Chain A
Amino acid sequence: MIEIKVMLFANIRDLTGKEELVLQVEDEITVSDALRIIKRSLPVLEKLPIDSFVVAVNMEYVSRNHLLKDGDIIAIIPPVGGGR
């Protein structure tokens, strides 16, 4: 069993009312798998285009096929910026 901490921000935090989640899974999973599990446990996320959001693992931006290990911290990063 491995444990992955998920950090939520901005519109995701507003919508779900949660700042973090803990995923417990049998084996190492990819970022895509993790997003699928997160969406299943928080159906309200359907309202946001999560699949287009970037993801950071242990504070580094990663691709969707990045493999998550026990103790990793994954952050879903909604679009940033604003102003010109």
Chain B
Amino acid sequence: MIEITESPISIERVIESVRDSGCGAILVFIGTVRDMSDDKKVLYLQYEAYREMAEKLLSKLSEDAKQRFGVKHISIAHRTGKVYPGEVSVAIAVSSPHRKEAYEASRYLIESLKKETPIWKKEFREEGGEWISTG
């Protein structure tokens, strides 16, 4: 399951979608919104996505990761719109027969997602909003 959604992410649903009796491990990464950034209070984040392209890239990324690490199932859900401190902005679940591959694939997925996927975030603090990117 690959999903870019305006609605709150159900962690339960993300996990259930990768459950497999042939797998001994389900690893879940959950990205949540921090309430502080550079010592400033964060009111909320506003996520924007080029949805079609993001879903296409994430599907491709999942296939890559399955091939590369031999994991069985991958689900990725990412929020768009306003997300408040403590809420889930992204969830990635990986299932595999053994845990080692799941850890490797999970790390690969979140790092690649951050690098390549057309999803942007604007951080709103008391003094206003600012688009945030890596380096």
Contact = CB atoms under 8 A, between A and B. Distances in A.
B117 A80 contact: yes
A75 B117 CA distance: 13
Interface of B is mostly: mixed
Contacts, number: 54
A9 B133 contact: no
Contacts of A11: 120, 131
Interface of B: 31, 48, 50, 52-53, 56-57, 114-122, 131-135
23 contacts: A7-B50, A9-B50, A9-B118, A10-B120, A10-B131, A13-B48, A56-B53, A59-B50, A59-B56, A59-B57, A75-B50, A78-B120, A78-B131, A80-B114, A80-B115, A80-B119, A80-B134, A81-B115, A81-B134, A82-B121, A83-B31, A83-B134, A84-B134
